[in-house]
Amino acid sequence: MAATETRLLVLGAVRLFEPVNGYQIRRELLSWGVDDWAHVLPGSIYSSLATLTKQGHLVRQDVEDGGRTVAVYATTPSGRDELDRLFEHAMTTVDPLDPLPVHTAMSMCSLFARDVVAGHLETRAAALGAHLEALRAAHAATAAGASPPHVARVLELQLGIAELERTWVRDLAIAVRRGELSFAGEPATWSPPADDPGWQMAHDRDRYAAMLRSRAV
């Protein structure tokens, strides 16, 4: 997986649960199956936490929890700006040979406002339209004998995929505009099951936040 998608996943997960410890971030991301669909290894999660902290996008603070020292992370203003930038780029940039960025960004949509997500989807739909025009021109040239016949078949596949994605993106943008799903600042329309580890993370987040507040007094 590209480092940019790893950064997006880690920054987004920290933003979702902050303040949160590194082990919890690792466990949460692995529960999403990122080691399979995103090829993110556990070690790269810790490495990304360290790098993002060094770059000033995360702040690390050590707290005493149950007789042990735990490193907890939270996003900084620059980290939230970086998350916005990475999310926008992944949502709006069309790379037909690499769908992973937009798949990654979609897992982070609930962190952003409805209008932001809808706008990015509409931008992506327009970019897919331009991509389709280029593919159609290439296919026409190939059909006219400019390339071997098997290349035309490949272009037909690419055209089909791009058309399907543009339809999906357009439909999703319309659904978001009319109020479907839930986004930042809105009541959640979905709640995880009672045994989901996220509930423990939310409980720990409240404890960590209280510890940090008391230390700041």
Where residue 68 falls (left for φ over 0; alpha for ψ -120 to 50; beta otherwise) is: beta
Please list the alpha-helical segments (H only) found in 142-217.
149-177, 197-216
Per residue in 159-215, pLDDT (tens digit) is 999 999 999 999 999 999 999 999 999 998 888 888 887 888 888 888 898 888 887
Which option is the CATH number for 1-112: 1.10.150.450, 2.30.29.30, 1.10.10.10, 3.30.365.10? 1.10.10.10
Query: Is residue 48 scored above 80 in pLDDT?
Result: yes
pLDDT above 70 coverage of the chain, percent: 98
Instruction: Tell me which H or E stretch contains 63.
Output: strand 58-65
Q: Facing residues of 65 across strands?
A: 68
Q: What is the pLDDT of residue 185?
A: 94
Distance, CA of 103 to CA of 106 (rounded, Å): 5
- The owner of tokens 């700006």 is 81
Domain ranges of the chain: 1-112, 113-181
Whole-Å CA distances, 199 to 24, 56, 79: 12, 28, 24
Q: How much is the mean pLDDT over the chain?
A: 90
CA distances, 138 to each of 3, 124, 130, 135, 162 (Å): 32, 21, 13, 5, 14
pTM of the model: 0.91
Tokens 């970086």, residue located: 82
β-bridge partners, 61: 72
pLDDT tens, 52-74?
999 999 999 998 887 888 899 99
